[in-house]
């Protein structure tokens, strides 16, 4: 089974392709400087490096380039994109709703959109990566892994700020904890 893991950000998309259950990294890389004239793909496979300087307008185009590279006859590690069984997505903010990884459906997407107010620089690009992967890999399982999920069990005394309680109730302002995927 081959799993593609995506971390779509505002100016970059990072990826790893794993063979499971061995946890073997088949390829990894990133597209950086998205939206600039000096965008570049860096792709690492079998101890080799392949770079492509190109203009990438958005996350959608970055995903297209990544998938094309994974099946490229010279530098790819897949014969066809259908070899990918599932896609995992790093999502920064899951609010109080998500305390674990979840299979992505319309309800999950709506919640990620809702939490964009709490992570405006991160959740929208995360969503763009999800939508791009759904378009290019439409019948594959897509899973969201939330940075905030790891910290979901911190006690209320630790996550409440010394602010009027109404701000927590109305806007969800509290300490959520981040980089939980790295901690886990």
In this predicted model, what pLDDT tens digit does every residue of 64-95 receive, in sequence order? 999 999 999 999 999 999 999 999 999 998 88
**β-bridge mates for residue 90, sequence order:** 145
Catalytic residue among 37, 100, 117, 147: 147
- The domain locations on the chain are 1-184
* Residue 105 region by backbone torsions, left for phi larger than 0, else alpha for psi between -120 and 50, else beta: beta
Whole-prediction pTM value? 0.89
Query: CATH class for domain 1-184?
Result: alpha beta
Q: Is 100 one of the annotated active-site residues of the chain?
A: no
Alpha carbons 180 and 184: distance in angstroms, whole number: 6
In this predicted model, what pLDDT tens digit does every residue of 6-16 receive, in sequence order? 999 989 999 99
In this predicted model, what pLDDT tens digit does every residue of 129-149 receive, in sequence order? 999 999 999 999 999 999 887
């Amino acid at each position: 089974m081959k799993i593609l893991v995506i971390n779509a950000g505002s100016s970059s998309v990072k990826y790893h392709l794993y063979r499971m259950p061995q946890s073997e990294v088949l390829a990894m890389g990133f597209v950086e400087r998205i939206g600039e004239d000096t965008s570049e793909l860096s792709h690492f496979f079998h101890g080799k490096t392949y770079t492509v300087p190109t203009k990438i307008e958005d996350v959608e185009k970055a995903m297209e380039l990544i998938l094309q590279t994974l099946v490229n006859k010279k530098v790819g590690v897949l014969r066809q994109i259908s070899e990918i069984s599932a896609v995992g997505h790093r999502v920064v903010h899951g609010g109080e709703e998500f305390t674990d990884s979840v299979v992505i459906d319309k309800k999950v997407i709506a919640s990620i959109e809702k939490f964009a107010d709490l992570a405006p620089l991160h959740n929208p690009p995360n969503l763009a990566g999800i939508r791009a992967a759904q378009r290019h890999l439409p019948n594959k399982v897509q899973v969201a892994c939330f940075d905030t999920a790891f910290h979901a069990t911190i006690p209320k005394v630790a996550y409440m700020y010394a602010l009027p309680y109404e701000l927590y109730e109305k806007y969800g302002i509290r300490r959520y904890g981040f980089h939980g995927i790295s901690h886990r």
